[in-house]
Structure 1
């Protein structure tokens, strides 16, 4: 699945339809691969991160320019923050058969989930960040976003 080109098309199409096209020079889409190694959010940048596993998106989230920990490390540790990918995986009964524990969940995510990041200039503003995150939520319906009762 060519997620880089798919994400690029979503960003260009959605922003153009709304009359405020986002120039390609204002963002970069980075496929960190599978396995992946998370990287810092560059200074004066913000980002949308995605975690893909066996044909489904598990989590799609955003980090503002002052939220490097959210972007870099929180999703690999179930106790680091509210609503992390690691905590969601540990609570999912379907994932228990994979031998995932609190001690190995971070390494499991790095080894088994493809991560694709969208890095944006922070001068685009928070509404742009939220727009891209929402467009990806709408298209891909990540498993660990929102409450199951709301679906």
Structure 2
């Protein structure tokens, strides 16, 4: 079976919940940006030495698939939606990493190759958040999803700083 369906040749795609929308629909833009972020996080994971950090990023990648599924579901509810527990877990990761950092002032990205990649992830996460917020002004988006994506950019920021402190 081929991945070519030709069903998108007219500029439309199917949402998880079955509706056909244009590929530049805000909803598609939002989950497409999360897909881009997921790919960048996969790149970062390959450059991290710490197995706990690698595992945390893998868990985040799995959660991003849940976020994308949730955003691609217009009718009904997505069974594996992001929960407050997911938000609490990533919040705790940020707090845990912050304990060992002494942040003051602005940070110029690119302290080392790994932190530079993590900063790219952070900026893509922020872009995804902006797209999700734009969508939320037109349609109902779960507040937990918004919080998770917001917290994710914080996590990527502190993980990048941790990587810079190693050099």
Higher relative contact order, chain-length normalized (CA < 8 Å, sep 6+): 1
TM-score, length of structure 2 as denominator length: 0.27
Report the structure, 1 or 2, having the larger helix content. Answer: 2
Q: TM-score, normalised by structure 1?
A: 0.29
Q: Which has the higher strand share?
A: 1
